[in-house]
Structure 1
Amino acid sequence: MDPFSDVTQLPDEFDGQVRLFPLPGMVMFPHAMQPLHVFEPRYVEMLRESLATDQLITMATLLDSASVADPASPPIARTVCIGKIVSHAELAGDRHNILLVGVRRAKIRRELETSRPFRSAQVDLIDDFYLPAATDQRNKLKRRLLTSFGKIIPPKAGSQQSLHDLMAGQMGVGPITDIIAYTLPFEPEDKLKLLEMSDVDARAEQLIKLIDRGEIELQSVSSSEKEVDLQEHAQPPSRNQFPPPFSVN
């Protein structure tokens, strides 16, 4: 059973128009969960509109804006991730903590003219593609991916058992690839390439190459992120569950 099926469905009336929340260095993936601390007035307005309607916010990656003519609209990567709010807590001073779960890949077709203070766009959804001829080899690919991942995660109680459970479990290559790609500290360019790939098997192979090239230094990640646990990332939170840390806008 897909643990995300009850929270990751787009509304039936979804028309491809999204609210954009650009952040530097942030590449969101479907199936991953991202805490956010929202306080800037334009994004508070975005949040209120989202909560009142479809609960959707689309995470975009800010690109280098050193030579941008219009600093109010710095360039963003064209591939984005539509996220759904699964938890919200309003704090003093019109500040908000939210938790997003990634729902779908999408590609910006065009940004929209708007009178609202935040950016919006028309997007085309990117569907995962599973090559039928590779079906028989997919379990082997899943095992190879988790084996590579297992070699680099910091040791912690239960981590190997978690990997064993994932190997034996029903979670597919697509969600596992997305969660690992989101979790590990690759360069944004590498993550964006993975986000752009619709072929699930090719995406998993690319992720294995990135892991096996040996350039990941998990020690550089904050202490709260060092202990990587795919099972924890893979469980949709309850409405009252709200784990820190939060990324700020």
Structure 2
Amino acid sequence: MAINRPYRRPSDLPAVIPVFPLAGVLLLPRGNLPLNIFEPRYLQMVDDVLAGDRVIGMIQPRLGPDGPDESERPELAEIGCAGRLTGLQETGDGRYLITLTGIGRFRVVAEEDGGTPYRRCRIDAREFAADLVPNRGEDAVDRQRLIATFRAFLDANGMETDWDAINRASNETLVNALAMLSPYGPREKQALLEAGDLATRSEVLIAVTEMALAREGGDPGSTLQ
């Protein structure tokens, strides 16, 4: 989904953004994330960003030894991804169906105190400036191995996909879409988010999928080499 406003440098992002803490949900640059918004505080958040810069930060609760913080007001992970609100549909029953398109990752500097029922954070995106350059580093992705891993996962789970669409997708689109759609837990999703570059994210995704196949009794070695 196209973004009307370009984000070419980290300073193009707002210094303070609303954040949506959600465990196990991943947004990546130029990926599209559909969300069903129904809690009053997040309905207000959507109304507010529509009247402003349309940027929302997706972030996971902080991960501890036993998983994500599940308290009413969880501590937040240090790194999230900012997205622009690019789609909105009113359902007629008080909900919004929205789409966020990923812009780039950020590090939380501090949480802002009060003022809104939803949470807001001061962010710094400078270390993730490369996220704002489309397709950067995609030539280093081992596309053949990634697709072979994906095929093995589908076969092991009796699933099908649109191979024409897969073959047409750029390496960036393929890696980020598969990472976002992957059925893995919060810890794996955070590792995919924090991967240093596209090729590293692809390698993390391959490794996690191979481990999942091994646990399920598959034989990834014969399929993925």
TM range (shorter): 0.7 to 0.9
Equivalent position of 1:101 in the other structure: 101
TM-score with structure 1 length normalisation? 0.69
Unaligned stretches of 5+ residues in structure 2: 63-67, 132-136, 217-225
Shift of residue 183, structure 1, vs aligned partner: 0.7
Match of 2:7 among 10, 26, 35: 10
1:68-93: CA deviation from partner (whole Å, max 9, x where unpaired) = 5xx3x211222111111121122335
**Residues 25 and 180 of structure 2 are in contact (CA less than 8 Å); yes or no, is this contact kept in structure 1?**
no
Amino acid across the alignment from 1:161: D
Shift of residue 160, structure 1, vs aligned partner: 3.0
Structure 2 CA distance for partners of 1:114 and 1:10, relative to 1, 3 Å: farther
TM-score with structure 2 length normalisation? 0.75
Unaligned stretches of 5+ residues in structure 1: 130-134, 219-249
1:127-148: CA deviation from partner (whole Å, max 9, x where unpaired) = 347xxxxx79626x12221222
Map 1:184-199 → 2, pairs under 5 A: 184-199=182-197
1:20-73: CA deviation from partner (whole Å, max 9, x where unpaired) = 11123323222332222222221111111111111111111124335x5xx3x2
Does residue 1:127 correspond to 2:129, yes or no?
yes
Structure 2 CA distance for partners of 1:197 and 1:8, relative to 1, 3 Å: farther
Shift of residue 215, structure 1, vs aligned partner: 3.9
For residues 182 and 20 of structure 2, what CA distance do their matches in structure 1 show? 21
Does residue 1:145 correspond to 2:153, yes or no?
no
Amino acid across the alignment from 2:69: S
**Residues 8 and 103 of structure 1 are in contact (CA less than 8 Å); yes or no, is this contact kept in structure 2?**
no
Map 1:1-249 → 2, pairs under 5 A: 6=3, 9-10=6-7, 13-63=12-62, 64-65=68-69, 71=72, 73-125=73-125, 126-128=128-130, 138=140, 141-153=142-154, 154-156=158-160, 159-166=162-169, 171-172=170-171, 174-215=172-213
**Residues 31 and 179 of structure 1 are in contact (CA less than 8 Å); yes or no, is this contact kept in structure 2?**
no
Structure 2 CA distance for partners of 1:216 and 1:33, relative to 1, 3 Å: farther
1:114-139: CA deviation from partner (whole Å, max 9, x where unpaired) = 3111110011222347xxxxx79626
For residues 41 and 54 of structure 1, what CA distance do their matches in structure 2 show? 20
Say what the alpha-carbon RMSD is for the aligned residues: 2.9
Higher normalized contact order (CA 8 Å, seq sep 6+, divided by chain length): 1
Amino acid across the alignment from 1:179: A
For residues 23 and 138 of structure 2, what CA distance do their matches in structure 1 show? 39
**Residues 127 and 198 of structure 1 are in contact (CA less than 8 Å); yes or no, is this contact kept in structure 2?**
no
For residues 4 and 191 of structure 2, what CA distance do their matches in structure 1 show? 26
Count matched residues: 199
SS at match of 2:114: coil
1:213-244: CA deviation from partner (whole Å, max 9, x where unpaired) = 234999xxxxxxxxxxxxxxxxxxxxxxxxxx
